Amino acid sequence: ENIMSLRNPPRNLYRVIATCTWTLAVGMTDGVLGALLPHIEEYYNISYALVSLLWLGNAVGYILVAFTAHHLDNYLGKQKMATLSCICFTIMFAIASSGTKYPIMIVAWFFGGIGGGTGLSQFNIFLSKLQKSSKYLGLFHGTYGFGAFLSPLIGTVMVDHGVKWHYFYLILLGLELFNIVFVTLAFKGCDEDLKRWEHVDTEEVQTPPIFTDSPPRAHEDVEMDYITSKKTKPVDDNETTVKNPVDSDDKHDFKAAFKDYRSWLTCSFIFFYQGAEVSMGGWIVTFLLDYRGGNPSSTGYVSSGYWAGITLGRLLLTAYLSKQFGVRRSIMVLSIFIMVFDILTWLIPNTAGSAVFASLIGLGIGPIYPMMVSLLTRILPRKIRFCALVLGTAFGSSGGSAIPFAVGMVSEFAGTYVLHPMFLGCYAAMVTSWVLMPNIER
């Protein structure tokens, strides 16, 4: 078998499952914060600006990974990087579950940023190299959305029954202790058995025809036709030995990625996409409480509806839209759809309507990330692809912390309605970044 697939190497099946259990915990972490935010503010007696420092700590962790992940990957290898990610999240959940002093909680979220940036960059790249990558990327990010949908439900029920908010993180602590063991075992030996595909051009092992505007055919047939026509073979093992940590080519690749405009467009796109996604999930509950007179015991479920929309969008729409309309066009149309429903959420003074609109916003947001990753593996040159994706996912994902932090800071003085203009601004910037990307689907 010359194609890296779910069964080749055999451990890949367990690796895909492990990435999903990992992203389930990450989704639960991101999703629950919005529902717990009013309780955290009350528990510590702090303002919007101070509670936003949790996201700032997270952003600093992501940015740190952006500039060190490439070197860590060379020194530690993929297995230890995956394990390191789980260890960082375990530290975060152990601190968060204790309900300790607030400055220490900010440090906990910093560790969460390191864990998120480290794991996300590794697992996105691993999944993007698999045959039928769009399917597995959709599953990976769909599982994230499911976790983000589930956690506000659990968190809201717990606090409604008098359980302190920070005990929710004991659930995540247990899940992450399992992840340390499972992820470590699943990725055991991955530095050796995956190195055959280390420098294979992803364009050759993926399935570009499903992303064109051509009439849809059976998904599997299209993939196999394309693979057969390319007659792809992995690089010889002698040519793909693990590089020395100080290899000059590695340094050159990172510098080349750093200088390539496509790398920074990738960073910009992910930064504003993640920023808008997490800001909506994090602040929509507080907005409804402040401006729509929402019931504190039920408004938390709106956050779950939003994340449920994201999950359904990723699982049901990603492959369909990619095949029917192409990735570039689909993302443009979805962005317009999302902005229209955000304006409706902002302007129509009705809690039930806002809840429905929030779910529809989530439905539109869902497919964008996995479609974007699939297309980037074709846009980015092979020489800089790994470094550019690490830089993009780590630095770009800091937007999922930096933008919610900014929303909180501005809300302190202007009110939480600023969520909506800032959300729209993020999407305008994201669409601009997307338009400037090379169009390879013409």
Domain boundaries, the chain: 8-205, 253-441
CATH number of 253-441: 1.20.1250.20
Task: Read off the tokens for 187.
Answer: 């990725």
Cis peptide before 9 (omega within 30 of 0): yes
Quick one: pLDDT at residue 251?
55
Residue 79 contacts residue 189 (beta carbons within 8 Å) = yes
pLDDT at position 52, please?
93
pLDDT at residue 230 in the model? 39
Beta bridge partners of 8: 5
Among 15, 12, 10, residue whose Cα is nearest residue 183: 15
pLDDT tens digits for range 90-118: 999 999 999 999 999 999 999 999 999 89
What whole-number distance in Å separates Cα of residue 420 and Cα of residue 174? 35
CA dist., res. 45 & res. 53, Å (int): 14
52-73 burial string, b = 16+ CB within 10 Å, else e?
bbbbbbbbbbbbbbbebbbebb
Give pLDDT, residue 331: 96
Query: What single DSSP character describes residue 316?
Result: I
Q: Across the chain, what does the average pLDDT equal? A: 84
* Two domains, one topology: 8-205 and 253-441: yes
CB-hemisphere CA count at 13 Å for 9? 17
Give me the pLDDT at residue 417, please: 94
Phi/psi for 243 (5° steps) reads: -75, 150
pLDDT tens track for 119-147: 988 898 888 888 888 788 888 988 998 99
Tokens of 45: 């007696």
pLDDT of residue 240: 38
Q: What is the pLDDT of residue 60?
A: 93
The CATH code for residues 8-205 is 1.20.1250.20
All residue ranges of the chain with pLDDT < 70 are 1, 199-252, 442
pLDDT, residue 157, reads: 94
Instruction: Report d(CA 254, CA 248) in Å as an integer.
Output: 10
